[in-house]
Amino acid sequence: MHRIDIPRKSIYRLSIYQRCLAKLRENSVDTVSSEALAKAAGVKPTQLRKDLTYFGQFGTRGLGYNVEALVKIISEVLGHNRLQPVILVGAGNLGSALLRYGGFRKEGFEVIAAFDLAPRPQPGLGIPIYATSEMPQFIRTNQVKMAILTVPTSGAQAVTNQMVEAGIQAILNFSPTILDVPDHVVVNSVDLAVELENLSYFIR
Amino acid sequence: MHRIDIPRKSIYRLSIYQRCLAKLRENSVDTVSSEALAKAAGVKPTQLRKDLTYFGQFGTRGLGYNVEALVKIISEVLGHNRLQPVILVGAGNLGSALLRYGGFRKEGFEVIAAFDLAPRPQPGLGIPIYATSEMPQFIRTNQVKMAILTVPTSGAQAVTNQMVEAGIQAILNFSPTILDVPDHVVVNSVDLAVELENLSYFIR
DNA sequence: AATTGTGAATTGATTCACAGCT
DNA sequence: AGCTGTGAATCAATTCACAATT
């Protein structure tokens, strides 16, 4: 597939459409127009249609899209039709919070282990916390491809190097720093302070 | 100021530059070239320069930028030269985690109160948790302009309406839903599941 | 009649190339 | 000589306008 020339933003929006479709399916809606779905997703109808046609033609003219079918297609495109194992590195405040939050499970991700330099057992968490030194081995034996990074800035790059070396291909980074990774590794960064800071520009 | 035609992404990057500058200042660096700063921020030097010139001319040709001065200028542009009060609504897993995380404080934000439909006192948090019903009054009396929203999807829009009505102008939204707000209100959404889902497209 | 799919047009962001300072 | 500031050129994303299909 020519993944290379599909805008990254389109792929990002696919995930959003997927969530909206899930909601429609819950409500037993079986067909939806680009107009309706776009509105739910907060985009323009033409943009939705263009995004979808990067991957094929899935609609019926005069009618709209079949919800069930579209869900399936997007699942396949995003490559997450089966449960994807994820590890979390850095079980401090933010890290253990995310573990407890658990909003990932129903979206097809399972955090199967967490790692920390100083692992303390955390009651009621339901997943094991190991020493970071055991991480590379764990990644290899469990063929883990995705990681959530919630270590402090100072350790972020070093941990990243280890993860990448062991086979991690995608990182959701919460450390407020730019990670240096090889081309085949993808990083999505979420910097909470930057998000807030950015907002403050817009208040008068 | 003609805020309207400055790309939102430039403003976003300003926050990133600010963090890099802070690090340089800690290390007692007093002058930095666009090349060095851009590298630290993960962008191209020309982009950094263009971003800055939306707001004025701050560099010295042949030399670079004065770190101290630039920090000050960006602070002013982002309108956060003084501590900005913020409230957090929805003290569930993610919400109380963010409160504990506290990565905001040093960036000039102070979470001064949290609200929840069922407020339980949370030990060691250092800030009060009130019932959501008291929120509008609190926003008004304390002139709060910014809010972090961590309620479940179902309640998000209703709470948002109340917040906006009471005077909130910027929202950092963690609920996985599109918020409908008037034009003068800005929303930054962070959808953790979408971020993960998006990444899974890139692993082979 | 309704709605998708898409080439063309437009708008927006990034990068280039070099003039202008220090 | 070195580095910023910026108009022009390029590249990318969005939106339009309408032909194609059911």
What pLDDT shows up at residue B2?
44
Q: Tokens 């190991």 appear where? A: A130
Query: Which residues in chain B are contacts of A148 at CB distance < 8 A?
Result: 196
Question: Mean pLDDT across the stretch B132-151?
Answer: 97
Enumerate residues 57 to 76 of chain A having a beta carbon within 8 A of any beta carbon in chain B.
none
What pLDDT shows up at residue A2?
44
Kindly tell me the burial class for residue B10, based on how many C-beta atoms sit within 10 Å of its own C-beta (0-12, 13-18, 19 or more): middle
Question: With b meaning 16 or more CB within 10 Å and e meaning fewer, what string describes B166-176?
Answer: bebbbbbbbbb
Instruction: Give CA–CA dist A150/A189, Å, rounded.
Output: 11
Q: Tokens 């405040």 appear where? A: A93
Q: At what angle do helices B34-41 and B45-53 cross, to 10 degrees?
A: 100
% pLDDT > 70, chain A: 98
Q: Could you tell me the residue ranges of all domains in chain A? A: 8-78, 84-196
Domains B8-78 and B84-196 share a fold: no
What pLDDT shows up at residue A113?
96
Instruction: Give CA–CA dist B195/B204, Å, rounded.
Output: 17
CB spacing of B186 vs A194 below 8 angstroms? no
Residues 6+ apart with CB under 8 A from B2: none
B68 to chain A, closest Cα gap in Å: 19
Query: Which residues in chain B are contacts of A102 at CB distance < 8 A?
Result: 93
Query: Which residues in chain A are contacts of B146 at CB distance < 8 A?
Result: 196, 199-200, 203
What pLDDT shows up at residue B22?
94
Question: Mean pLDDT across the stretch B181-185?
Answer: 92
β-pair partners for B34: none
Considering all nucleic acid strands, name the nucleotide whose C1' atom is nearest to the C-alpha of residue B64.
D3
Query: Which residues in chain A are contacts of B78 at CB distance < 8 A?
Result: 197-198, 200-201
* Number of cross-chain residue pairs from A and B with Cβ atoms under 8 Å apart: 180
Topology of domain B8-78 in CATH is Arc Repressor Mutant, subunit A (1.10.10)
What pLDDT shows up at residue A97?
84
Q: How confident is the model at residue A67 (pLDDT cuts 50, 70, 90)?
A: very high
Reported as type and span, the H/E element at residue A59 is strand A59-60
Could you tell me which of B11, B82, B106 has the C-alpha nearest to residue B52?
A: B11
Instruction: Give CA–CA dist A67/A59, Å, rounded.
Output: 10
Which residue among B41, B97, B201 sits closest to A94, beta carbon to beta carbon? B97
Considering all nucleic acid strands, name the nucleotide whose C1' atom is nearest to the C-alpha of residue A10.
D13
For the segment B72-116, what is each residue's pLDDT rounded down to a tens digit? 999 999 987 778 999 999 998 889 888 888 777 777 899 999 999
Taking the CA atoms of A195, A155, A115 and B104 in sequence, report the sign of the dihedral they define.
negative
Average pLDDT, chain A: 92
B1 pLDDT higher than 50: no
What pLDDT shows up at residue B67?
98
B176 pLDDT higher than 80: yes
- Confirm or reject contact between A48 and chain B (CB < 8 A): no
The DSSP-derived string for B126-192 is -S-EEEGGGHHHHHHHHT--EEEE-S-HHHHHHHHHHHHHHT--EEEE-SSS-----TT-EEEE--H
At the fourth CATH level, the homologous superfamily of domain B84-196 is NAD(P)-binding Rossmann-like Domain (3.40.50.720)
Reported as type and span, the H/E element at residue A64 is strand A64-66
Which residue among B98, B171, B202 sits closest to A170, beta carbon to beta carbon? B202
Number of helices (H), then strands (E), in chain A: 8, 9
A1 pLDDT higher than 80: no
% pLDDT > 70, chain B: 98
Average pLDDT, chain B: 92
Instruction: Give CA–CA dist A148/A179, Å, rounded.
Output: 13
- Confirm or reject contact between A191 and chain B (CB < 8 A): yes
What pLDDT shows up at residue B181?
94
Q: Find the Å distance, CA of residue A65 to C1' of nucleotide D19.
A: 20
Could you tell me which of A61, A60, A78 has the C-alpha nearest to residue A22?
A: A78
Instruction: Give CA–CA dist A31/B126, Å, rounded.
Output: 50
Which residue among A11, A86, A102 sits closest to B198, beta carbon to beta carbon? A11
Q: Identify whether the C-beta of residue B128 lies closer than 8 Å to the C-beta of residue B114.
A: yes
Q: Find the Å distance, CA of residue A180 to C1' of nucleotide D1.
A: 32
Question: Mean pLDDT across the stretch B164-174?
Answer: 97
For the segment A71-104, what is each residue's pLDDT rounded down to a tens digit? 999 999 998 777 899 999 999 888 988 888 877 7
Q: Which stretch of A93-97, A131-135, B61-65 has the lowest confidence by average pLDDT?
A: A93-97
